Amino acid sequence: ALPGHESDHGDSDGGLDTETSGRSGAGRFWDEWFNQEQEFSDWLGDPKGLAGCLAPYLPNTVPERQILHVGCGTSTLGVELQEQGYGAVTNQDLSAVAIRQMRERYPAHLWEVADCTNMRALHGDGTFDCVVDKCTSDTLLFRNKRGPRRHLLLEAMLAEVARVLRPEGGLYIVFTTLRRHPCRRTALPWVLQASVRLDQIADQSCLVASYRRPRAAWLHILQTCRPGTRPVSPRERLQRDMMEACEATLSLPDFVAKYTPLTQHWGPPDGTPWGA
């Protein structure tokens, strides 16, 4: 189980506290957890391997990309993402103890104490290009599975993630133990771009034993979009790239005559056929 799943520490609702609220409830629980933990740890798997899994979905050639890693704890996933070139990473956790430990260990990286269910004091709307969640939403669900506010906490986090992401093309990347993660069924302005079991795309050696078959871990990627539109899927993007290459070798009339009947099935979001 993830740390804290069966815990009776702290408030039954998990709390919505931050560092400035007296370190009660969830904040105090996680401070005690990281004070007692003897080694830096990562759930699911090796951060270097997990970061490498994102290469097909998130080009690591955009150093100016702004990434937020929510609920980082003492994970080095954010460090790996930045060092592998995915972008500039802000590592965030509710525990001041975890952030202090990581800031001392990796002073060149950005660390902040914050509550992922309420980040308005720190981050405005559309601040980030990408938000990474490695089991943070799982923890909100399972640690509070008997609490009356279990889903309220997760809904508050998802709403904040949607708010801080840029409104079109922002990516919410979720490493989770849940195949049917609640983020896939929310009414928030994003659509599913990918959903894959980690043991199908990651080297087995990078996953901890408990998250290999039969208990698998999952990667879900969602992309924000404006109301009334939808983002281009990876398949559509590949098809359009191929057609652009073909267009370069054909005159426009020949190109339209040859490809318009095909593209009517997967044209732009507004339904206008290519070449029209």
Start-end ranges of CATH 3.40.50.150 in the chain?
47-224
* Residue 197 phi, psi (nearest 5): -75, 135
**Averaged pLDDT, 84-99:** 93
pTM over 0.75: no
With cut-offs at 50, 70 and 90, classify the pLDDT of residue 258.
Answer: low
pLDDT digit string, tens, across residues 211-227? 555 567 889 999 988 76
Stronger pLDDT, 11 or 123, i.e. the higher one: 123
Question: Mean pLDDT, to the nearest integer, of 67-87?
Answer: 94
Q: Sign of the C-alpha dihedral, residues 157, 160, 164, 166?
A: positive
Q: What is the pLDDT of residue 114?
A: 93
Asked if 110 and 89 count as a contact pair (C-beta separation under 8 A), the reply is yes
Residues 6+ apart with CB under 8 A from 213: 199
pLDDT reported for residue 1: 34
Among 40-44, 102-106, 139-143, 171-175, where is mean pLDDT lowest?
40-44
Q: Specify the pLDDT at position 178.
A: 85
CATH code of domain 47-224:
3.40.50.150
CA–CA separation, 72 and 109 (whole Å) = 13
Residue 66 contacts by C-beta under 8 Å, 6 or more apart in sequence?
87, 88, 90, 127, 128, 129, 130
